[in-house]
Structure 1
Amino acid sequence: MGYRDKIISIEQALSLVKSNDMVVTGLGAAEAQLFMNNLHTIAGRVTNVTITNCLPTSNGEFLKPEYKNSFNVDGWFFSPPLRKAHLNGNISYIPNHLHLAGYKRLFYVKPNIYVGAATPPDKHGFMSLSVSNTYERQMIDAADIVILEINSNYPRTFGDVEIHYTEVDYLVEGDYLVPTIPDVVSGEKDMVIGKYISNMINDGDCIQLGIGGIPNAVANYLKYKKDLGVHTEMLTSKMVDLVNLGVINGRKKTLHKGKLVCAFALGNKALYDFIDNNPSVIMMAGKYVNDPYVIGQEDNMVSINTTIEVDLAGQCASESIGHVQFSGAGGQADTAIGAQNSKNGRSIIALYSTAFVKNPQTGEKEEISKIVPTLKPGAIVSLSRMDVDYVVTEYGIASLRGTNMKERTKRLINIAHPKFREEITRQAHELMFI
């Protein structure tokens, strides 16, 4: 049997879904776009189908409230479609450290169907899972039925992503473009914070970066560094820019010298063109890439993450605004702890000192401090106070490693916005932090 004997239509693929099924799809751009965008068409014949996803890029009709009796969603990481659909009441977040997301999910439930994106088979019959292997291969191995949407627009990558067509039950042909995300333009605050962080990165360091204004600003200031390496859950467009400038080459790395190690890639078309058939990029399983033990073996590891709110103990609420789920923990704890296990490693948490939010009484937007005596009621602690190393705002750097409550309180107040420092200090005295 050749691989073409396994090709079915998207309608036939959807016909395999039964009521009460558990369906898992790929992370980010590895999501099965045809499947998810047509899932709503079977709503009339199924109930209680659960989709498990992570950072979804599609905004499928099935997320609309009228389909909530047919479909539930369990998400490892919320993106805008899930934030909006969360109000429907059929969307739930799965607390996780990214390197254990697949393992712990399988401890609880086995998927009936895995569906995700892949490249077409090569002359040897091997496909590439392309832009993500965070948990995908784990789910493929565990699922009763495996469906891959094969698409020649997807980059062929190397690492732990190869899968032979004989290991797959069905193939659906697609020709959609790989989902991209826009390059965020860094603002004035981003650039100030980015410069502080770039000064903490030395030639020869190995970095982990995310996306957004602050990480992009950091990347802009790294253009003058030398011999940087990459060991990151997410490979970004800005990292490719640094490779093209000769800044990133991996020559000083401890593990996988000369290679860019990642669990998934998400960015612009230039990123996907760069990773296509590129042996310098290895996409390994998330359970390996994000394992703090593995990260700790990489000397001079620098982890750079962002957060929403930090209290005077150093606790970071990075995934929720109060009790409302906003994104996810992702690999923040994985990389922060791993970097601090590294020889000469550093973990950096960055945030603006303030934010503008709507006052519930007046309805007007007002500026509030993001460094606070205590977190908002119900806020989720994504990174514990024991695991915070450096915190950076546009007003400076607070080193919290090894500090007591009095010391870290004072250091965090020093990088809060000046107009809030007096009030934060007053509350800190009341709470007996100082």
Structure 2
Amino acid sequence: MSFQTQYQSKRVTAENAIDQLRNGDFIVVPTGVGEPPTLLTALSAQRHRFHDIKVAQILAVRKFDYFDPDTADHVRHVAFFFGSASRAGGQQGSVDFIPCSFSDIPVMIQRGQIPADVVFSMASPMDEKGFFSLSLGADYTMAAVAKARAIVLEVNPNVPFTHGNCHVHVSQVSALVESSEPVLEVGLPKIGPVQQAIGKYVADMIDDGSTLQIGYGGIPDAVVMQLAGKHDLGIHTEMIGDGILTLIESGAITNRKKNYLPGKMVATFALGSKKLYQFMERNPMLEMHPADFTNDPYLAGQNDKLVSINATLQIDLLGQCGSESLGPMPYSGSGGQVDFVRAANRSQGGKSFIVLPATAKNDTLTRIVPTLTPGAHVTTSKNDINYVVTEFGVAQLRGKSARQRAQEMIAIAHPDFRAELTEGARRLNLL
């Protein structure tokens, strides 16, 4: 049977594709814009016919009707990381949460610790050899493809076909749904003077020839804006976005100095503009791989001068980062922060940066605290932390004593809170 014949035999409407599901199924969906909107809309419309369906994803970007807390017994979201679509449900208890690092999710699926009965994913058009590309989110989805009973793809001509370990053959697919809506575009975050100041501190410490992991957010993008004059930068990251694209266009990124996969950018999911998605199409410079490859500290750390840039919400005087909750209230998740902090620590000449504004709520609340708020989820530990950057400077903590750490952290706090933090440090016998 030809590939096209197989394709046509599996092509169905989204409504009929939902028939692949059984009560109790665990559906794995890719990160961000890799989520298939036509399929998830159809699932939402038919959710009352099912019982105990779970939809698992690291970052949902659309709030489909199945997020309705009144129908959570029918279809329930499971978050590996909370975003705007899932955060309220997580805080209210109608969305489940699986704590994990990004790099561990494929491994947990492979070992059966996280189920994978069905895969729902966006996909590129099929090539002449019968392959689709899951270019928008190889992440943990490729691990789920290897385990799932049913693989249902939403094929869209606006999804790029990319190189790397992100391909699914038509013979593996249970059902195909076609759509042609533009891939969701996610714009760059707003950058203010605080973000610019932090970005400059970090950018000044990035050497030519460094390999970058750049997360999403105003501060990482503020760093990117100030790197256009650098030379021979490389990319080994989890997310490829428009900030990276601007550095490619400026000539700052060449990937020539990378030790691991020289000449290639490596990422596991994409989040950006139509221009970015078009850039990805069969680009020999780019490979999309699963997160247990991109985020493996051993592999990423083989690149000399690996730089990781990630944000936190709160940090204590020892350097413990509460990056994913407001006290006990969930806000995001671990993601790949620890993966790349450890990768940069392994790298020869590597630097990991944890970045945050010194204050919140119009300078009325310090984000640098003697101890984390009770119940806060610790993300990056005191043992892994290296550089911490606020708009007031840089603290270098790795190899420092508890007393030295407290002094460094107080020095980069907002001046209005330094006396208070000094007194807190004394109560803890840190000073």
TM-score band, normalised by the shorter chain? over 0.9
User: Cα offset for 1:166?
Assistant: 0.9
Task: For 1:49, give the aligned amino acid.
Answer: I
- Answer whether contact 2:30 2:121 (CA < 8 A) is retained: yes
**Residue 19 (structure 1) aligns with:** 23
Determine whether 1:57 maps to 2:61: yes
Across the aligned residues of Structure 1 and Structure 2, the Cα RMSD in angstroms comes to 1.2
CA distance 1:58–1:391, change in 2 (3 Å): same
Determine whether 1:289 maps to 2:294: yes
- Answer whether contact 2:123 2:154 (CA < 8 A) is retained: yes
Secondary structure at the residue paired with 1:138? helix
Report Cα offsets for 1:274-313 as digits up to 9, x if no partner: 1112111011121111000101111110111110000011
Task: For 1:328, give the aligned amino acid.
Answer: G
- Answer whether contact 2:82 2:90 (CA < 8 A) is retained: no
User: Cα offset for 1:87?
Assistant: 4.3
Q: 1:270 aligns with which of 229, 252, 275?
A: 275
Determine whether 1:33 maps to 2:37: yes
Report Cα offsets for 1:205-234 as digits up to 9, x if no partner: 111101211011101110111110000011
Counterpart Cα distance in 2 of 1:403 and 1:37 = 52
**Residue 418 (structure 1) aligns with:** 415
Secondary structure at the residue paired with 2:152? strand
User: Cα offset for 1:69?
Assistant: 2.0
Counterpart Cα distance in 2 of 1:205 and 1:258 = 13
User: Cα offset for 1:88?
Assistant: 4.4
Q: 1:300 aligns with which of 287, 299, 305?
A: 305
Task: For 2:418, give the aligned amino acid.
Answer: R
**Residue 47 (structure 2) aligns with:** 43
- Answer whether contact 1:207 1:228 (CA < 8 A) is retained: yes
Report Cα offsets for 1:324-344 as digits up to 9, x if no partner: 111111110000001110011
**Residue 391 (structure 2) aligns with:** 394
Q: Which has the larger displacement, 375-384 or 87-96?
A: 87-96
Determine whether 1:217 maps to 2:222: yes
- How is 1:183-332 mapped onto 2 (pairs within 5 angstroms)? 183-332=188-337
Q: Which has the larger displacement, 106-115 or 218-227?
A: 106-115
Determine whether 1:125 maps to 2:130: yes
User: Cα offset for 1:16?
Assistant: 2.3
Q: Which has the larger displacement, 264-273 or 37-46?
A: 37-46
- Answer whether contact 1:193 1:393 (CA < 8 A) is retained: yes
Secondary structure at the residue paired with 2:129? coil
Secondary structure at the residue paired with 2:184? coil
User: Cα offset for 1:108?
Assistant: 1.8
Determine whether 1:336 maps to 2:336: no
Report Cα offsets for 1:341-386 as digits up to 9, x if no partner: 0011111100000000xxxxxxxx7710000001011000000000
Moved over 4 A (4+): none
- Answer whether contact 1:205 1:228 (CA < 8 A) is retained: yes
- Answer whether contact 1:207 1:232 (CA < 8 A) is retained: yes
Which 5+ residue runs of structure 1 have no aligned equivalent?
357-364
**Residue 9 (structure 1) aligns with:** 13
Determine whether 1:348 maps to 2:345: no
Q: 2:94 aligns with which of 85, 90, 93?
A: 90
Secondary structure at the residue paired with 1:218? helix
Q: 1:368 aligns with which of 361, 365, 370?
A: 365
Secondary structure at the residue paired with 1:81? coil
Counterpart Cα distance in 1 of 2:385 and 2:127 = 45
User: Cα offset for 1:44?
Assistant: 2.3
Aligned length: 426
Task: For 1:312, give the aligned amino acid.
Answer: L
Counterpart Cα distance in 2 of 1:303 and 1:343 = 13
Identity %: 37
User: Cα offset for 1:189?
Assistant: 0.4
**TM-score, normalised with respect to structure 2:** 0.97
Report Cα offsets for 1:122-150 as digits up to 9, x if no partner: 12211111211111110011001111111
Task: For 1:379, give the aligned amino acid.
Answer: A
Counterpart Cα distance in 1 of 2:291 and 2:73 = 32
Secondary structure at the residue paired with 1:147? strand
CA distance 1:394–1:87, change in 2 (3 Å): closer
Secondary structure at the residue paired with 2:374? coil
User: Cα offset for 1:167?
Assistant: 1.4
Q: Which has the larger displacement, 265-274 or 399-408?
A: 265-274
Secondary structure at the residue paired with 1:159? coil
Secondary structure at the residue paired with 2:76? strand
User: Cα offset for 1:38?
Assistant: 2.4
User: Cα offset for 1:255?
Assistant: 1.1
- Answer whether contact 2:166 2:289 (CA < 8 A) is retained: yes
Task: For 1:202, give the aligned amino acid.
Answer: D
Report Cα offsets for 1:385-434 as digits up to 9, x if no partner: 00000000000000001011000000000000000000111011011111
**TM-score, normalised with respect to structure 1:** 0.96
User: Cα offset for 1:102?
Assistant: 2.1
- Answer whether contact 1:131 1:157 (CA < 8 A) is retained: no
- Answer whether contact 1:37 1:58 (CA < 8 A) is retained: no
- Answer whether contact 1:97 1:333 (CA < 8 A) is retained: yes
Counterpart Cα distance in 2 of 1:410 and 1:131 = 43
Counterpart Cα distance in 2 of 1:88 and 1:299 = 44
- Answer whether contact 2:79 2:98 (CA < 8 A) is retained: yes
Q: Which has the larger displacement, 416-425 or 118-127?
A: 118-127
Secondary structure at the residue paired with 1:114? strand
Task: For 1:115, give the aligned amino acid.
Answer: F
Counterpart Cα distance in 1 of 2:27 and 2:217 = 30
Task: For 2:385, give the aligned amino acid.
Answer: V
